[in-house]
Amino acid sequence: MEFEFGGFDSGSFGDFDTELEDVKVKKAGRFDRMWKVGQGGSINNTPIVVGNIAYFGAMDGYVYAIDLEKQEEIWRFRASDGIEESSPRYSEGILYFGSFDGNFYAVDASTGKEIWRYHAADQIDVASFVHDDFVIFGAKDGCFYCLDKHTGEERWRFRTGQPIISGPAAFGNLVLGGSADGYMYCMGLETGKELWRFRTGAEIHNDNNMLIHEGIAYFASFDNYLYAVDARTGKEIWRFRTGKYGNASTPTVHEDRIYHTSRDGYLHCLDRERGKEIWRFRIRGKDSIDSKPLFFRNRIYFGAGDSYLYCVDMQGKLVWEFKTSGHIYTSPVLWKGKVLIGGWDCHLYVIDWETGQENWRFATSTMVQSPVPSAFENFRVEVKKGSSFESIDEGSYKSKEGSVSLSDYHVESEYTVKSEYTGKGDYQAEFVMPEDEEITEVLAWESDSEDLTPASRIST
């Protein structure tokens, strides 16, 4: 799928009469695409597998329980609106998930019967985190909620400056979660009091729970950086710059490396200690990757917005690819040598891990794909006219040189972090990105890696 910027696709301008230095791509506003997804049967919800049962939600408002051995549906639970990125979480026989209807549900995993529900002040579109006797999630109203997982009673709520579009995680007696206001917040698990906050340059968004490994929090931002931050103190350890269109995925740790996908269509392999890039893999299509990588038997699996599920080896070389009929923005999971992935084309796929051959698929209640804006709708192309840049009018420019790739250009962001949250916690981490530091220009694929290998490419 090609993305459009004001009438021009993201892969090229077509015929375009201008010099490269006279074109730039700018972030034109907050990233709020997730709230604009419409009704349909699309799956943007990473399944969770317990035994032989897979649980997942879809934009038709259902959470499904599927017996993977028998290849049949066991039950379905209906919310009153779509379930997009709020993937179910399982604990002690209960599933926890949120919906666009603003409700957070606890459902019996065996029967699909509702146990309790809690109504937040706005839509819910991120995964929850279950820790001890608590379940924690965020909502569009900008609040993190902590509930008693047995009763649904609210224990505390913590307000940020913008909607919560990132799944939280707990570390000991700490809760970490990012907000669209650009801050990563650390709260006390028992009290919900702020302990520190870390400032990035744009929205923090991912549908999976954030990664905390050996006391280090790894998370990405729409300022085009992946960060490694001490989870106890909020001090930055390193940051790695990705491409032009921000980040919306959760990285994965495997041995001494970090694997991270970016919205420019790359899988990055980094040294975990220093954040130095080792290799990168480019997907087939010009689309974003929001998928958290899965590892199994020295292979890496991830889905992409170009409709492919990819399998690459540990050196970043393609092993196989599997094509669906729509975006894949979910993360793959493993079951008995099979890879499960949800698709925008309204199917849950079960794929052989070794060959990439489809084993079988399950269809949701409707085959109508959910309408969704372009992944890059918050970016625009501008062309220099005289001493200033102006937005491109559709079909206005012709070139003598043929197509020009957007990947050659720099990105500037007009987004400035302004948090409406005014409270101060007991401890405030040093802001590692001062207020006067600009993150307005991000060079395409600039890296200080000492041993970067050439990108793997898929031959067409």
- Boundaries of every domain in the chain: 38-367+431-442
* pLDDT tens-digit map of 167-179: 999 999 999 999 9
Backbone CA torsion sign across 49, 62, 167, 341: positive
Average pLDDT estimate for 11-29: 50
Average pLDDT estimate for 63-86: 97
- What pLDDT, on the 0 to 100 scale, is given for residue 76? 98
- What pLDDT, on the 0 to 100 scale, is given for residue 434? 32
- What pLDDT, on the 0 to 100 scale, is given for residue 11? 36
The pTM for the full model equals 0.80
Is the pLDDT assigned to residue 424 strictly greater than 60?
no
- What pLDDT, on the 0 to 100 scale, is given for residue 28? 74
- What pLDDT, on the 0 to 100 scale, is given for residue 114? 98
Burial of 43 (0-12, 13-18, 19+ CB in 10 A): buried
Is the pLDDT assigned to residue 414 strictly greater than 90?
no
* pLDDT tens-digit map of 82-108: 999 999 999 999 999 999 999 999 999
Is the pLDDT assigned to residue 14 strictly greater than 60?
no
Rounded to the nearest angstrom, the gap between the alpha carbon of residue 297 and the centroid of all alpha carbons in its chain is: 24
Is the pLDDT assigned to residue 287 strictly greater than 90?
no
Cα separation values, 131 from 38, 81, 173, 204, Å: 32, 27, 10, 22
25, amino acid identity: V
Is the pLDDT assigned to residue 416 strictly greater than 60?
no
Rounded to the nearest angstrom, the gap between the alpha carbon of residue 27 and the centroid of all alpha carbons in its chain is: 18
Rounded distance, CA 219 to CA 356, Å? Answer: 30
| Residue 250 structure tokens | 């959760």
Confidence tier at 207 by pLDDT (50, 70, 90): confident
- What pLDDT, on the 0 to 100 scale, is given for residue 1? 35
| CATH fold of the domain at 38-367+431-442 | Methylamine Dehydrogenase; Chain H (2.130.10)
Q: How many CA atoms lie within 13 A of 426 on its CB side?
A: 8
Rounded distance, CA 326 to CA 106, Å? Answer: 30
